[in-house]
């Protein structure tokens, strides 16, 4: 089997999106401030609490995000609407500073999850299925790269392989019996999601423009995961046609790092 030219271009675009700059780099490009300075300003309790805050945000989001969404593929995703919602949330949170992040993060994560699910639906996914919801959840792991990650350890398929066993085990047990496995999956995802949560917190900790800074940071935060989601679900769409092994092999041959 050989991939069509149009699908090859889609795969190449997906790889470009999944290799997008880290959130820290994106914030630096927008604000001209270093994340390192912000990290130094974070309170002593932050590192110990980031995993808890991230897990809570992801857990609360998993079921709530798609409740009011309708089925149907090939809809145009409402990326601008979700950016406006994220910007408003960031503006409110930014007005109160870092102390409001634990309250604001579940809201912005819920908005991001809805945007991710919207993109998934556009790429032909059934957003009512638990498999698709878990695929949406995984996006938070794929987008959780730091600037120090290297290609071998943080590549898309490497991270995905690490999550696949847990996802497969949960799907095999079902929602009720697999509850402990779901907790494990959320913990795995939040470990990487916590990287970008810390980067977001660090940007907030640097004195910028208060609410206006919160608006900008949340917009960049959402764009970061929208790019990741688009790449992820393009690949899943192609896998349904060509098979996962073929697409992974073709992906790895594109502009090797």
Residues 6+ apart with CB under 8 A from 88: 215
pLDDT of residue 67: 57
Residues of the chain with pLDDT under 50: 73-74, 88, 92, 95, 150-152, 257
Enter the pTM of the model: 0.82
pLDDT of residue 82: 52
In terms of residue numbers, what domain contains 194?
A: 5-253
Contact (CB, 8 A) for 204 and 38: yes
| Residue 210 region by backbone torsions, left for phi larger than 0, else alpha for psi between -120 and 50, else beta | left
As for how many domains the chain has, the answer is 1
Tell me the pLDDT tens digit for each residue of 17-29: 998 777 777 776 7
Taken in order 99, 104, 106, 112, the sign of the CA dihedral is negative
Tell me the pLDDT tens digit for each residue of 90-130: 554 554 556 667 777 888 888 888 889 889 999 999 988 88
CA distance 93 to 238: 39
């Amino acid at each position: 089997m050989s991939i069509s030219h149009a699908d090859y271009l889609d795969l190449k675009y997906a790889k470009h999106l999944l290799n997008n700059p880290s959130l820290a780099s994106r914030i630096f490009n927008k604000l001209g401030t270093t994340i390192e300075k912000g990290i130094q300003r974070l309170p002593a309790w932050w590192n110990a609490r980031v995993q808890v805050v991230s897990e809570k945000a992801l857990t609360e989001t998993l079921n709530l995000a798609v409740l009011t969404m309708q089925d149907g593929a090939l809809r145009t995703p409402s990326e601008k609407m979700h950016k406006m919602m994220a910007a408003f949330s960031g503006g409110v949170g930014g007005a109160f500073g870092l102390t409001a992040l634990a309250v604001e993060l579940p809201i912005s994560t819920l908005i991001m999850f809805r945007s991710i699910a919207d993109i998934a639906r556009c790429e032909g996914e059934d957003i009512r299925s638990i498999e698709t919801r878990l695929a949406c959840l995984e996006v938070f792991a794929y987008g959780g790269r730091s600037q120090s990650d290297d290609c071998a350890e943080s590549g898309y398929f490497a991270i995905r392989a690490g999550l696949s066993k847990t996802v497969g085990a949960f799907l095999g047990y079902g929602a009720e019996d697999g509850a402990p496995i779901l907790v494990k999956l959320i913990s795995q995802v939040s470990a990487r999601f916590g990287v970008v949560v810390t980067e977001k917190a660090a940007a907030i900790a640097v004195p910028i423009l208060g609410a206006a800074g919160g608006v900008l940071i949340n917009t960049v935060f959402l764009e970061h995961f929208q790019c990741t989601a688009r790449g992820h679900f393009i690949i899943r769409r192609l896998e349904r046609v060509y098979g996962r092994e073929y697409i992974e092999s073709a992906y790895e041959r594109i502009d090797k790092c």
